[in-house]
Amino acid sequence: MATPQASHSHSADVKQARYPLRAREEPAIVQADDGRQGLDRALQIAARLQTTLEVDKLIAIFAQEIKSSVAYHSMSYQHPEQSLEITLGEVARHTCSYRLVVNAQFLGQVVFTRKRKFTHNESQTLEGLLCSLVYPLRNALLYREAQKAAFRDPLTGINNRSTMSVTLRREVDLARRHDMPLSVIMLDIDRFKSINDNYGHAAGDSVICAVAEAVGTCIRSSDMLFRYGGEEFAIILNNTGPGGAVLLAERIRQAVESAGCAYNDAVIHFTASVGVAFLDSKDDDELLFKRADDALYQAKAEGRNCVRLAA
């Protein structure tokens, strides 16, 4: 087995086996601490980790529990594919890192740091203790994915209607509390029924995805995009007044008009009508949304492919 070096990373895979944590370099068996005592400690930690399915809390519990076995200055957990990066403590010079894999599924990487080198026995202890983390961590990651899926539109991958209701209520409360501007944009694809009638529903789905992509290229990372209905979208713009919201709405309208959608041998062109509303003193979340929706239907009534601001 490779030994962790002073300032170098030591990588270990966690596999489902009788002795689940092994180094990649050779299949030597690793025991945590000293025999039965180390196993009992790992089981105690595993029991503590069963109390949550939230990844950040899980990592915090694990980090606290193992301090009595191996001293360290910081512990970090990264999972780039899940956009997870958690660091606890103050990062120091010497590192000991482990790549976590179970049944060929990558669960992320854990890195410990401290001011003095980790010994060989300490690295073995950490490897053994990590056995107690991998299965609770896998469950937490699966739960996180299920939660994300519940709030995502399966066709476009953007936020769905359920998420919008919760988010708009929260953003209105925050805007009121901090005296910040808030705007909502509603967008509807013009004459969408004729697209389905002329090209089929699969083509309609492609157009919806093309619109979501076009809108996504225009908005900021802080803006929130939702598929509200079949061909209707909503965008919540925090810290944005009516002037900025109308400018963005016009940019979105132009992007949608220019997008086009290749389907089979045809290129489908489409436009969108857009309504904008700005949070004022009499609005709650429902009224703000209704005013944006009314502005959208005003845009449709006045010729489509245009932007209208709610009165």
Q: Which residue type does 73 have? A: H
- Residue whose C-alpha is closest to residue 233's, from 279, 176, 278, 192: 192
Show which residues are catalytic.
231
CA dihedral 39, 41, 45, 46 (to 10 degrees): 20
Instruction: Provide the b/e sequence for 99-112 (b: ≥16 CB within 10 Å).
Output: bbbbeeeebbbbbb
| DSSP labels, 87-148 | EEE---SEEEEEEEEETTEEEEEEEEEESSPPPHHHHHHHHHHHHHHHHHHHHHHHHHHHHH
| CA atoms of 171 and 197, how far apart (whole Å) | 38
Chain Cα centroid distance, residue 233: 20
End-to-end CA distance of the chain: 71
| CA atoms of 128 and 123, how far apart (whole Å) | 9
| CA atoms of 295 and 274, how far apart (whole Å) | 7
